Structure 1
Amino acid sequence: MANKQLFASSRGRLLPAADTVNEAGGLAYALPPKAALAQLVMTGSLGNAFYVDAQAQLAALLDGAQRVEPLYVAQTAVFARRHGYMKDTPAVLVALLTLVSPDLSRRAFEQVIDNGRMLRNFVQVLRSGVLGRKSLGTAPKRLVQRWLDGRTVAQLMNDAVGQSPSLADIIKMVHPRPVNLEREAFYGWLLGRTVATEQLPEQVRAYESFKAALAAGDQEAALPAVNFQWLTALPLGRAQWIEIARRASWQTLRMNLNTYARHGVFGEQPRANALSQTPAHSGSGAGSGVTEPPADLIRELAAKLRDAETIRRARVFPFQLLATWRALDQRVPVELREALQDALEIALENVPVPAGKVYVLPDVSGSMGAPVTGWRQGATSKVTCRDAAALIASAILRRNPSAEVIAFDDQVWPLALNPRDSVTTNTELLARTGGGGTNTSLPLAWLNARQARGDLVVYCSDNASWMDSRPVGATETLRQWEAFRARNPAARLVCLDLQPYAGSQAVSRADILNIGGFSDAVFEVLGRFARGEHNGEHWVAAIEAVEV
């Protein structure tokens, strides 16, 4: 008689066998080519992840782009930049398109390369040799020339912040033809040439006058209206740094709280900081010891940080707020810390509310302790994959207090989180949980053992399950989902992958959505799927709907 343990009759539909092995060595389902490319682009920051390094990520990205048609490559680049706010991967795809479809590269370039940082990324990728060339070439040069011609001088002043390559380096490469004498003088000034002062734009003249005043010892000189990063290498006084903070836009303020703290804006004497890119100058207050925080300034900046309309207009990225909050210097006043937490709560107001009974399953295994954007020298985020999973779980709980959060690693961690606690409080609690191996089927098995009823299950994981792996057949996660759905026929499953791994524990179908990313786009797609407005293939369909 055949072994009944091996050949026991199965209930329900015949499940597809897993067809690949994930990065941790467990059975998995390979994502279809279009979904795999979207996963890589929306989660890949080209840094070293827990299971793959940056080089392997780039190889997978380029290989994935070869497996789909060029139009979809262009659409993915635009979607990732517009909805995921990704910086590196969209630039790589646009650079790749210059080799395979010049027309599509032009149309994608116009939508993806939207600031100086993105332009530098595009140029750097093309000149690196990774794509098979070390020069821009005629068509890419024309793209950059048209981009420069379409920018105002004020925009170019902002674009000129940054190196490797600098905007001056790019101008040398593409030789743009100045449209007037002012633009010609501006390019000459960027390149360090001697130019007629009267032909320079007013903004540049004001900047040069300010530098001359500082050199003459005038610590009271009025700040010019330029990007503050043009000023950071200058010997500014504390009063001038305070003025920079007051003038800052919402995003600039959010991004530079630690910089302001180092320069004494919040009232204490700046300390030497070996990691700072610019020297800490205390200005006229040098030697006077620690000063009291200026209460009116703190109130003003806190009010700006928590201003709801400004937050909505600034297209705030909740994960950016969490990253800022995690990285705050101890010298940043508590009022500003609390204002950032308020801003995070406001930024999550538009999170779609999944109706019905929802279970959120954040992965708290050891691999989830990796930075969500990977390890990268000089640019490693303090936000881990576990933090990102916790943020999503906390956000859903805030909008649906009946939701249950069941964390897991190699065991189940049912957590009685308070929906009224701040997102940062709940995120901190989740971030301190777990640290063991990865068993993604475990929380579903735990729910099944309790005959749980539910409408939506959301995994927040890197999908690198290995502890429940079988030699052959379907993954244990899919088996447990089938058992859950037999009891809850209308239930839906979302597998949110936070890392650039192209495998999943469950196949995409009408009731199962595989999606990758850690941006606002995640909440939007999740909400639509939960409401039954699309099936498990919608993520790819949303990308295919992008007009290029």
Structure 2
Amino acid sequence: MKRKTVWRELRERALPKPDRLNKEEFPAYERTVEEDVLAVLTTGSTANLFYARATENVKEMLEVLKKCEDLEFLAKAVIYAREKGFTRTLPIAGLVEISRREPALFRKIADRICQNPHDWQQFIDICRSRTIRQGLGRSVKEVILKAIAGMSEYHAMKYPRAVEDMINISHPHESLNPRIIRYIKKKEHEGEQFRYLKILKTSENEDEIIQAITDGGLPYEVVTGSVKRMTPKIWERLLYQAPYFNLIRNLNNFGKNGVFDSMENLDYAVSRITDEKAIRQSRLFPFRFYIAYQMLEDFRGAERLRNALQVALEKSVANVPELDGKVAIASDVSGSMSSNLTGDYSVVQCCDLVGLFTGCLVKKCRDLPIVLPFEWDVREDIASQVYEKKTVMEIASCFSAWGGTSLSAPVEWLMRKREPVDYFIAFTDNEEWVGRSFIEAWTEYREIAPECRAYLVTLLPYRDYPVPPEMNDVHFIFGWSDAVLRYITTDPADQMREVMEIEI
């Protein structure tokens, strides 16, 4: 036994020396600036996290963007995060950083990041905060003017305060887009959609209002904020006109207002929610279906809608290829996984996303994987529950956050069982602090499974890595979308490769 301890100590002394400490003062490593940038843009949360207050966290993330000297890479990463990672706030912050340093590059990519007035309002708010640049400047105002010139009545109605911000900042001449500017500044309803909106605001005739909603293609937010008295028939009209995400978000509103008392309406909603093309085009994170499922209240038809949301979640990851070989899934259920993903008012925590990703991956393994939820140690009780569940939603419900973080615990479990696997996949924030370090355990485990590759799917932007860049058998993947699962089943280098291949 003594001899084994000596050889282990010698092996561990030969490991690369850590060059930083993580949030728990545990040894960690730095990696490339490019990886840091990608981590921030695809997992950046503006919420109060377990290890960082919102202001501290945002300040650290902005420092990462400022340190990126390769502006072309930063621009590509910002576009990737917005278009393929489906994140919004940090890509917009990245665009502000680019506007400060390279106005010409900013002009080339601005409309790919700020896709509507709501995005521009956040861009303006970030500029006003003076955390990245001092004010807006001529080049920014010119691009905002261009956005106003091409703005539709639909966007002006849906985001009136954001458009007002854009107008107040850029001071356009009325001739730039007369109907939009006069609607915002003078409350005039000159355009076709604006005339339908005026009917909503002034009419008390239900049939006339419904006809205006239909003919004008008026959005949910505009209708509910303009009609003097909402009726069941008006709610019903909104159901059939709702975009996919709007439908998912407002199931309770439709249900509480009696829309699903009609079997025809309920059938339509179920069909729409489970439509594969609509799911694919919506580009929703898997956790959006989980939130809708968790938040659904009791009303007539609610059980069918719950089942539809489960089906939609399964279909949302249907394009992830199946994974061959023996797989171990290490799901972090430690206390730090209680962090909210998108903001302090978010109802989804990291542990929910861990559960969803675990469930998705369980369904995508050809052979039954080894599920290893961990905190201080491996939670075999949670693993037993997972094996009993049939759907992704049911598997996700098994997970909650508590305890310390031992990223080495699932590796130690595999060593004790002498279980060689082909893939070791962890969903985590990488903030280990209990037991041996991951790098020590992983190096020893490689003697049992020399061909095994590790994938650490990183869910929060702390940038404390448990292994250095030179360890090419451990890969990091960043993000919250189902794309991270696709990179596991194909090639982890694809994520960075996709960034580099983006055309500007």
How high is the TM-score relative to the length of structure 2? 0.91
Residue 128 of structure 1 corresponds to 129
3-state DSSP of counterpart to 1:231: helix
Q: When the two structures are aligned, how many residues end up with a matched partner? A: 488
Residue 478 of structure 2 corresponds to 516
3-state DSSP of counterpart to 1:459: strand
Greater Cα shift, 320-329 or 120-129: 320-329
3-state DSSP of counterpart to 2:198: helix
Residue 456 of structure 2 corresponds to 495
Counterpart contact for 2:47–2:340, Cα < 8 Å: no
Counterpart contact for 1:317–1:520, Cα < 8 Å: yes
* Paired letter, 1:373: T
* Paired letter, 1:251: F
* Paired letter, 1:72: F
3-state DSSP of counterpart to 1:408: coil
CA shift at 1:426, angstroms? 0.8
Q: Does 1:529 align with 2:491?
A: yes
* Paired letter, 1:408: F
Mapped to 2, the partners of 1:526 and 1:37 lie a distance apart of 20
Mapped to 1, the partners of 2:45 and 2:170 lie a distance apart of 28
CA shift at 1:323, angstroms? 2.1
Residue 258 of structure 1 corresponds to 252
Residue 364 of structure 2 corresponds to 399
Q: Does 1:352 align with 2:321?
A: yes
Q: Among residues 426, 439, 442, which one is paired with 2:406 in the alignment? A: 439
3-state DSSP of counterpart to 2:147: helix
Mapped to 2, the partners of 1:13 and 1:489 lie a distance apart of 20
3-state DSSP of counterpart to 1:30: coil
CA shift at 1:9, angstroms? 5.8
Residue 284 of structure 1 corresponds to none
Counterpart contact for 2:426–2:456, Cα < 8 Å: yes
Following superposition of structure 1 onto structure 2, how do residues 366-515 of structure 1 map, counting pairs within 5 Å?
366-374=335-343, 376=344, 380-400=345-365, 401-414=367-380, 415-416=383-384, 417-418=386-387, 421-429=390-398, 431-432=399-400, 435-468=402-435, 476-508=437-469, 509-515=471-477
Following superposition of structure 1 onto structure 2, how do residues 207-356 of structure 1 map, counting pairs within 5 Å?
207-214=197-204, 218-223=205-210, 224=213, 225-233=217-225, 234=227, 235-266=229-260, 293-331=261-299, 333-356=302-325
Counterpart contact for 1:362–1:407, Cα < 8 Å: yes
CA shift at 1:24, angstroms? 2.2
Counterpart contact for 2:322–2:489, Cα < 8 Å: yes
Q: Does 1:361 align with 2:348?
A: no
Q: Deviations over 1:505-526 (max 9, x none)?
A: 2234321111222112312322
3-state DSSP of counterpart to 1:514: strand
Counterpart contact for 1:83–1:520, Cα < 8 Å: no
Percent identity of equivalent pairs: 24
Counterpart contact for 2:350–2:459, Cα < 8 Å: yes
Mapped to 1, the partners of 2:165 and 2:317 lie a distance apart of 40
- Where do 5+ consecutive residues of structure 1 fail to align? 267-292, 470-475
Distance 1:51 1:144, change over 3 A: same
* Paired letter, 1:172: N
Following superposition of structure 1 onto structure 2, how do residues 162-201 of structure 1 map, counting pairs within 5 Å?
163=161, 166-177=162-173, 183-193=177-187, 195=188, 200-201=190-191
Mapped to 2, the partners of 1:249 and 1:4 lie a distance apart of 63
How high is the TM-score relative to the length of structure 1? 0.84
Mapped to 2, the partners of 1:92 and 1:342 lie a distance apart of 35
* Paired letter, 2:374: F
Counterpart contact for 1:326–1:383, Cα < 8 Å: no
Mapped to 2, the partners of 1:220 and 1:333 lie a distance apart of 28
Name the structure where helix makes up a greater proportion of residues.
2
3-state DSSP of counterpart to 2:446: helix
Counterpart contact for 1:326–1:382, Cα < 8 Å: no
Q: Deviations over 1:129-167 (max 9, x none)?
A: 22242x321100011111222333334434x25x4xx21
Distance 1:306 1:355, change over 3 A: same
Q: Deviations over 1:179-207 (max 9, x none)?
A: 67xx41332112234x4x6xx11111111
Residue 39 of structure 2 corresponds to 39
Residue 153 of structure 2 corresponds to 153
Q: Deviations over 1:57-106 (max 9, x none)?
A: 22112211122222222122111101111111011111111111111211
Mapped to 2, the partners of 1:303 and 1:4 lie a distance apart of 62
Residue 50 of structure 1 corresponds to 50
3-state DSSP of counterpart to 2:75: helix
- Where do 5+ consecutive residues of structure 2 fail to align? none
Counterpart contact for 2:279–2:312, Cα < 8 Å: yes
Greater Cα shift, 28-37 or 446-455: 28-37
3-state DSSP of counterpart to 2:454: strand
CA shift at 1:26, angstroms? 1.7
